Amino acid sequence: MEVQWMLDKPRFVPPLDEGFRPAILANRAFRKKVEESGGGVPMILALERTNGAVSRFETRVFPEEHPLAEANLFYIERLVKFLLWQRGGWKVYAGGPKSIGNYLAQCYKDSGTRSFDYHFMGEDVYERTFTIKTCSPEDVPPRNESTQPLGRHLEGCRIGFDLGASDRKVSAVVNGEPIYSEEVVWEPRKNSDPIYHYTEVMTAIKTAASKMPRVDAIGGSSAGVYIDNRAMVASLFRGIPKNRFSAVREMFVRMGKELGVPLVVVNDGEVTALAGSMSLEDNGVLGVALGSSEAGGYVTLDGNITDWLNELAFCPVDYSPDAPREEWSGDLGVGANYFSQQCVFRLAPKAGIELPKDVTDAERLKFVQQMLEAGHEGAVNIWKSIGVYMGYGIAHYADFYDLKHVLILGRCTSGSGGTLILDGANEVLRAEFPSIAKNVHIQLPDEKSRRVGQSIAAASLPIV
């Protein structure tokens, strides 16, 4: 598929990644060509979720007889991939040229190049058969979105926990003030026994409980898709075989019953955004957490959350054919390899850094961060590269979210690394995307809330 004309070298090149080709620039190059060709034809994508919820995304493509029409396929497939992981869906309406719908149907099927997404979105998340429906733009269903308030309840004695792939955090919070917080290194993805996960989480809760006179409510955040406190899919539990997954699927429901207090668990990205909205005292917040993977969450301009997935770890940000392959989904150029410790580990050899073996990922990241603080040139270039990725990434995200603030946090932003990322992102935005730089404020939380703010926001989830 000839799309090389879309993939120009960016003005800002990551020091350790000459091949980076930002999605935002490729999409803009495509749209410009379509406009120059006479405006193209309409292409409307709609994604159906549960209870008739529908998201829509409208763009324009080349008519089928145009010499560049083949580029439609790449452009739309990458958009569909982004929208699926941002918003979710078991059914995609492709309202436009039939060749595009037919191509998507070939990609998103059991034996297609996107078979992972086919099974994940269909069977695992929405428990339906994943479907691509080709139709005319007029036959695409109308938008049907709903939002709801989340958290912000801080009265009483509460526990908040945040489960990451490298560490678990917990806080004891009394009337909105944290009186105790701790981080404990663990390795959930390498443990196949559900008892391990249950014991670790319960230990964290009981430790926090011992610091307060009583416990009124418990809130938690964790990577994955959670519906009614049930873990539908979670990379955190990827080591657990399917025939035992029901034990962790119902784990938090069981804990709530055993502890006898309200217990609410939601996706960590939503809590990231909630924490940002609470600390900024404003809305229109996209939270991007750079931890073991990339977590994303969004608080609308009205201060509510959506029923979108916001799994930015699997949304494409690099369209280079040589982009790194993500280990779980098998796709190229997705956020997990650019905005997480996985990026640090990927770039370390290029930076002349040999990572220690036989240690946890948390210790491996800490090793590179210590080199960064010591001024190692290669380590500095890792975080400068992430800064460039972030600038182009935020510009890309702005095509899909109404933004006033982007809050960047997580383990990879600790120390001077956070400043390098922020400075790099702002430099890219000011030069390449001045309107975004003017209207969207990007910032880091202070060091304390950067480390434990997630679990404190999680504590505010349940209503007592």
Mean pLDDT of 376-390: 98
Determine the Cα–Cα distance for residues 457 and 460; give it in Å rounded to an integer.
Answer: 5
Determine the Cα–Cα distance for residues 62 and 35; give it in Å rounded to an integer.
Answer: 9
- The model's pTM is 0.88
DSSP characters over 335-398 = GGGTSSHHHHHHHTGGGT-PPPSSS-HHHHHHHHHHHHHTT-HHHHHHHHHHHHHHHHHHHHHT
**Could you tell me what percent of the chain has a pLDDT over 70?**
98
Q: Which pLDDT value is given to residue 409?
A: 85
Q: Which domains does the chain have, with CATH numbers?
A: 37-145 (no CATH), 148-270 (3.30.420.40), 273-459 (3.30.420.40)
Tokens matching residue 379: 């380590």
**Could you tell me what percent of the chain has a pLDDT over 90?**
80
According to DSSP, the residues that pair with 308 across neighbouring strands are none
Mean pLDDT of 190-208: 95
Nearest Cα neighbor of 455 from 156, 167, 236, 147 is 167
Task: Give start and end residues of each alpha helix (H) in 47-170.
Answer: 71-87, 98-107, 115-119
Mean pLDDT of 402-430: 95
Say whether 307 sits in a helix, a strand or coil.
Answer: coil
Q: Which pLDDT value is given to residue 452?
A: 46
Say whether 415 sits in a helix, a strand or coil.
Answer: coil
Q: What is the pLDDT of residues 30-84, one digit of tens each?
A: 999 999 999 999 999 999 998 899 999 999 999 999 999 999 999 999 999 999 9
Tokens matching residue 202: 């319960």
How many residues are listed for the chain in this entry?
Answer: 464
Determine the Cα–Cα distance for residues 383 and 344; give it in Å rounded to an integer.
Answer: 8
Q: What is the pLDDT of residues 87-139, one digit of tens each?
A: 999 999 999 999 999 999 999 999 999 999 999 999 988 989 999 999 999 99
Determine the Cα–Cα distance for residues 360 and 366; give it in Å rounded to an integer.
Answer: 10
Q: For residues 261 and 215, is the Cβ–Cβ distance under 8 A?
A: yes
Contacting residues for 453 by C-beta, under 8 A, at least 6 apart: 275, 279, 409, 445
Q: What is the pLDDT of residues 305-328, one digit of tens each?
A: 898 999 999 999 999 999 999 998
Q: What is the pLDDT of residues 340-369, one digit of tens each?
A: 999 999 999 999 999 999 998 989 999 999
Mean pLDDT of the chain, nearest integer: 94
